[in-house]
Chains A and B, each alone.
Chain A
Amino acid sequence: MLDIQTIRKDFPILDQQVNGYPLVYLDNAATSQKPVQVIDAVANYYRQDNANVHRGVHLLSQRATDAYEGARSKVRGFLNANSDKEIVFVRGATEAINLIAQSFVRPNIKAGDEIVISHMEHHANIVPWQMLCEQTGAILKIIPMTTVGELDLSTIDELLNERTKILAVGHVSNALGTINPIKELIRKAHAKGIPVLIDGAQAVPHMVVDVQQLDCDFYVLSGHKMFAPTGIGALYGKQELLAAMPPWQGGGDMILSVSFEHTQYNELPYKFEAGTPNIAGAIGMGVAIDYMQNLGIANLAQHEHDLLVAATEKVTALEGVRIIGTAKQKASVLSFMIEGVHPHDVGTIFDQQGVAIRTGHHCAQPVMQFFGIAATARASFAFYNTMEEVDALIDSIKKVQELFA
C-alpha cells in the first residue's frame, strides 16, 4: 500500500496555492512533476561532477561519464533490454521517431511502399512518417478506430502486407488513455516480417514495460513524462537493427576517427549520439527510474487505476458530461466534454479553482476529427494524485455547469 501523503512530500511543486486554491495537478499526460531526488541529482551533477563525457582523462570527466553511462544501464533495466548498446539517449520520443524514420526506414523504402500507423497517434507519430512519405513517395496507411476509442483490427491483415516497411503505433493514447494490444500487433507484423516501433511516451509512467517480452524492434520514450527532466528521452532498438543503420546526425562523440578522406563511425550506441549529450537530463532520468522502481511500478499502476476508475464513475454519474474514450483497457487519461461549454472555457474555470488540466486537441487532431470535436478537456493522473483531487475535479465540473447554466 502506497503512502501517498509521504510520496507527495517528495514533489515540492505540488505544495502551492494556485488562484487561492491548493494546486490540483491533473495534466500529467502533458508533463509530469519531478521528485526532489531528481531535482537534486541534476543540481548536484552541476555542483560537483559537471564535465564532458567520454573524452577527458581527468576525474570529473570520469565521474560524469560513469553517471551518464550508469543512467543508460538504468534505462536498459527499466525496459528489460538485453544490452546497454540498445539504449540511445535522445531528446525525447519525438526525436527517436524521427531518427527511426530517417535512419532505419528511409534507406529501405521506395515509392509505393507503405507505412502503417493508427488513427489514435499523436502528431509525433504522424508527422515524421508524413515527411518520409513526401521524401520517398511512400504511402501512409491508418489502422482505424472504433467509437469507444479502441483500435479496429478488422482490416489489420490487409493493412499489414508485403509493401509495409514499418508499423509504428502508440502503446497508450495520450488523448484517450487507451492501452493498445501491442503484443498482438507485434506478433501479427512479425509474422509478415514487418518491423515494429512502439511509442511508449504515455505508457512508461504507468506500467512495467519489457521490450524482450514484447519483442518490439524499437521502443521510444520521453523522460519528462516519467518524472525526469525535459529534453531527455530514450530509443530502444534491437542491437542488430541499430548496428545496420547509418548514423542520424554527424558530429563529435559519434565517431572513432575522422580525416577529410574518411570518417569511421563509433560503435553502438554512440553512433547515434552526436555532440555533447544532455548529461544532467540522462542522470535525472536514471534517478526517476530508481524512484519509480523503489515504490514499485505495479503499486503505482494500481493506485492510478483506482483513481481513474473512481473519476470515471463519478464523471459518468454527472448529467451533461460525456467521456471521450471508453476503451476497456485504459491508463491515466480521462478526456471529457461538458455539454454546451467549450473545453477552453472549462480549462480557465478549472484553473480558477486551482485544478490544472489540459484543454485542446492534445496534439492528436485526427483523434478529435474522428469524434467530430475540435478539442476536449483532459484530466490525466499520476501516482501522486489523490482521491480528494478526483473530488476537486468533480467539483470543478459542477462549477462550470453552474456558471454556464
Chain B
Amino acid sequence: MTPNTEAELAEIIRGADGPLRIEGGGTRPIGAPSNGARLSTAAMRGITLYEPGALTLVARAGTPLADIETALAAEGQRLAFEPMDHRGLLGTSGTPTIGGVVAANVSGPRRIQAGACRDFLLGVRFVDGRGQIVKNGGRVMKNVTGYDLVKLMAGSFGTLGVLTEVALKVLPRPRSMGMLRIEGLSDAAAVAALCRSLASPYEVTGAAHLQQGPDGTSVTMIRLEGFENSVAYRAEALTRLLAEYGTWIFEADTDKTAAHWAHIRDVGPFQKQAGNVWRLSVKPTDAPGIVADLPGARAFYDWGGGLIWLLAAEGSGLSAARVRSAVAARGGHATLIRGNRSQGAFPPLPAPVAALQEGLRLKFDPRQILNPGLMATGAAV
C-alpha cells in the first residue's frame, strides 16, 4: 500500500485488520522484522515550504533525502545533524526518505556538537494507530506550546504513528571544512585527546578514532568547519593544545575532509565486513574500557568516544549478553544495528521506563498494528 495523501493513509490505517510494516525508502531495516502488510510513505513526497532566511524547511515524509539536500545546497544550507546513510552498512538499496531519517532519529558525527535529528525537528504530522491525524510542534524554532510529541516521534520507528510531514531547522553550510589527523594513538590516548578538543573553545564538529586506518595503524581525526581563516586558526590552536599526543597533520581541503567524514558517518570501516554490528552510546571516557572488555571485537569511535561502532565477527564469542553487560557495567546502551534481527535489537529498559513506553504504545496504537514488536528489547543483563 502506497497512499498518496495523509487522508488516504489515515483511511488505510483505520481500515487495517492486521499488522502493518511501515516503510519510507526501506533502507534502514533496524529492529525486529515485521510480517505485516507493507505500508510505504514513498508517494507522499515534496518539499512544502522552504524559507532559507528563517532556516526552516517542511517536507512530506516520503520526500527523498537527496531532494532535500539538493534544495538546501542550492541555498548554501544543510541538515546539520548529518544523517547517516545506512545502505552501505546494511546492504540495502532504495531511496532514503526524510521520514525514515526522523523515524529512526538518524544523526552523524556532527551530533556531538550540533545535536541529533530530534534537536532539529520543529514539527510533525502523523497518523496514529487509530487512524487519527495528529500534529505537534510547528515550523518555528522556539515553541513550548503543549507537550513535545515531536521528540517522542523522532526515533519511535513508526511504532506510535506514521509520519506524514516533518518540519526541520536547517543551518548554513560553512564555507570550508578541514581536519587534524594523527596516527598511532592508543584508544585511551585518542579518546583523551578528543575529549580535550571537544572541551576547547574551538568548535570541533567531528571527533573520531579508528583502531585501524587504511594502512593498519590507528587514525585519530578532528574536524573543523567555518570560514577558511577561522578553520586554519583553530587548527593551529588545537595543534598546540594537543601537542603532547604527537604531531597533528592539518588537512585544509574541504572535499578530502568531507570524504573522510562520510566514511565515518556511514560506518565505512564495517561495510562489506561480515559480523554483527553494534552501536553503543556511552560516556566518552568510558569507551576505551568498554572496548577493552570485549576482546575479539573490532571497534571505532565517533562523538569523541561517546559512540562506539562495534563489529562482532562470527566466532568472536561476543554474544548480545556480553556486549550489553560490558555497557551496563558503566552506563549507556547498546543497539544491534546489523545481525539477527529477531533477537531484540534495542537495549533492555528498567521496569518503570518499560511500563511507560508500553503504556504510550497502547495509547497511540491500541490495536498494536504499527510495526508491532519492532522495538523489542534484548534480555536484561
Q: Do A and B bind each other?
A: no
